[in-house]
Structure 1
Amino acid sequence: MNGNQESEPTINGKTARELALIKFKSGYEDGTIIAQQQHMSSVLGAISFAFFLALFSASTDTLSKPALIASAVLFSASLVSNILIFFLYKTLSGKNEREYIWDIENTTYAGIFKFIALATPILGTFSLILHFSVPAFIFSVAIGLLGVFTFLLANKQITSRLSKLGAYQRSLLHAERDEDYFKSTEHEFKTRPTAEEFCTSKYDYCLKNQEKQLIGFITLNHQAVVGDVVETAKSGSLSIQRIIHSEETTTLICEKFKE
């Protein structure tokens, strides 16, 4: 590794990739991602069942067409695979089984099977379109490819913009231009904890004003996020403007809350 290469920035010793993985895994711990995937599997299974019934009710002569045969095979594969995934989530969605689902989905085999469950109804639909109209099939494929390239280019542009914005915000912090920094974050979405995160755990915070002067310490029953208002006995209501993490403590940069 090049000794002059800058190390990747971390928060509490974790890189952005590691933090993203932790956040993704939390969706399995509280069951939200499992519920979403269960819903998606049930929808794809229902769509596949409807299309398969329509193809099954067609005449024998119609089913001799290669495109319709391919469509029937693909929708039947989608029906079976999505039903299996749905019942897997349904039977193992309890709190004690969520870790097992997480472990299963981190295997290559589960990834391949889920890809089959997602790809077969899409391919079956294209095969059905091909049977009825070749121009419509070509146009649909072109629109699909255009959509893929659009999202790839959009993601590249978003990544570039966030990189430039991050560099700009870091320069503001280094220059101690806190007011300009807060203005640059006004467009950001405010992350709120889920209902499962409001638990009986205790979180200790250090309170400081925007001049980094110590206000005091506070213990909360939930994790604080930017935009929250905390009530203190001495300083009254304070609005959280920024959160600074360190190995020793978490500091809330606050200002007086204004109605």
Structure 2
Amino acid sequence: MNGNQKTEPTINRKTARELELIQFKSGYEDGTIIAQQQHMNSVLGAISFAFFLALFSAGPDAFSKPALIVSEISFSASLVSNILLFFFYKTVSGKKDLEYIWDFEQTSYAEIFKTIALFAPIIGTFSLIFHYSTLAFIFSAFIAVVGFATFLLAKNQISLRDSLLSEYRLSLLYAGRDEDYFTLKKHEFKQKPSAEELKINKYDYSICNQKKELIGVVTLHHQAVVGDIIEIADSEPLTVLRIIHNERATKLICKEYTEDTSAID
């Protein structure tokens, strides 16, 4: 191995590709990506069914014009493949089957079948446009190229902007402008949990004082950690000192929170 070759940077001993895979896999573990796949396949299947039926209104041309024949074949392939995928995700989506769906999607066979389900309605649509108007087909193809170019150029511009922003943040730190640095951090994009996630991510805790006497019960939307500040009804803010788990409940041992003003000028 070449001694001058630089090793790939890692976070917690994981490369960027490994971290990306872990994040992508989490979407299968919690079912979010599977739900998105179901929605997409149901929409594509419904569109294909509508177009497939509409093609029969073309009369004799539906069986003699090459563009219409290609469109019919594409929409029929899209209809069947998307319906099969929808029912696959719908029936094999229990907690015990999530790992099987993940393993299934890593196979080349699944990748080929999903590619057919995705591109078949696109080919059918462009074939239908080409049959009725060559000019409309050229314009549609041009818009498609512009769209792809827009996405690629936007991605590059975002990467460049993020790189420049990271350099600017580092320059603020090196210059000792901590206040400006944290002011800039406040304007970062923060993704708020959806109503469904707030409903799912609920954690019940028993609040106790330092003598382990019960003060109250609280439901939080995140897991509590030592040092958290807890606010419950008819009580002063509390800070978490220890967390005690048992088979029946999780107890937060707290004391009254007092703000440390010694560091404030």
TM-score, normalised to structure 2's length? 0.72
What is the correspondence of 1:78-157 to structure 2 with a 5 Å cutoff? Answer: 78-157=78-157
More displaced 10-residue stretch of structure 1: 131-140 or 55-64: 55-64
1:9 CA displacement: 5.0
Q: Map Cα deviations across residues 85-141 of structure 1 (whole Å, 9 max, x no partner).
A: 000100011111111111111222211211110101011000000000001000100
Deviation at 1:143, TM superposition (A): 0.6
* Post-superposition offset of 1:202: 5.5
CA distance in 2, matches of 1:6, 1:232: 48
How far 1:233 sits from its partner (Å)? 3.0
Q: Which residue identity lines up with residue 74 of structure 1 in the other structure?
A: S
Structure number with bigger Rg: 2
Aligned 1:91-240 pairs, distance under 5 A: 91-173=91-173, 177-192=177-192, 194-195=197-198, 196-199=200-203, 204=225, 233-236=256-259
Task: State the alpha-carbon separation in 1 of the partners of residues 242 and 109 from structure 2.
Answer: 45
> Which ranges in structure 2 are unaligned for 5 or more consecutive residues?
205-221, 229-238, 245-253
Q: Secondary structure at the match of 1:184?
A: helix
Are the structure 2 counterparts of residues 19 and 217 from structure 1 closer, same or farther at C-alpha, using a change threshold of 3 Å?
farther
**1:3 paired residue number:** 4
Calculate the aligned-residue CA RMSD, in Å: 3.1
Query: What is the CA-CA distance between 1:26 and the residue it aligns to?
Result: 1.5
Aligned amino acid, residue 55 of structure 1 = L
Q: Summarize the Cα distance change of 1:199–1:206 in structure 2 as closer, same or farther, 3 Å threshold.
A: closer
Question: 2:156 is matched by which residue type in structure 1?
Answer: K
Unaligned runs of 5+ in 1: 208-215, 222-230, 238-254
- Answer whether contact 2:61 2:68 (CA < 8 A) is retained: no
The CA distance in 1 between the partners of 2:47 and 2:100, in whole Å, is 28
The TM-score with structure 1 as length reference comes to 0.74
Alpha-carbon distance change, 173 to 157 in structure 1, aligned in 2, over 3 angstroms: same
Shift of the 4–53 alpha-carbon distance from structure 1 to 2, 3 Å rule, reads closer
Kept after mapping to 2: 8 A contact 1:45/1:82: yes
Deviation at 1:176, TM superposition (A): 5.1
Looking at structure 2, the residues matched to 170 and 19 of structure 1 have their Cα atoms a distance apart, in angstroms, of: 24
d(CA) in 2 for partners of 1:80 and 1:47?
12
Which residue in the other structure is 1:28 paired with? 28
Q: CA deviation at 1:145?
A: 0.4
SS at match of 1:39: helix
Q: Is the 8 A contact 1:42 1:86 kept in 2?
A: yes
Greater RCO (Cα-Cα under 8 Å, separation 6 or more): 1
Aligned to 2:55: 55
Query: Which residue identity does 1:135 align to in structure 2?
Result: L
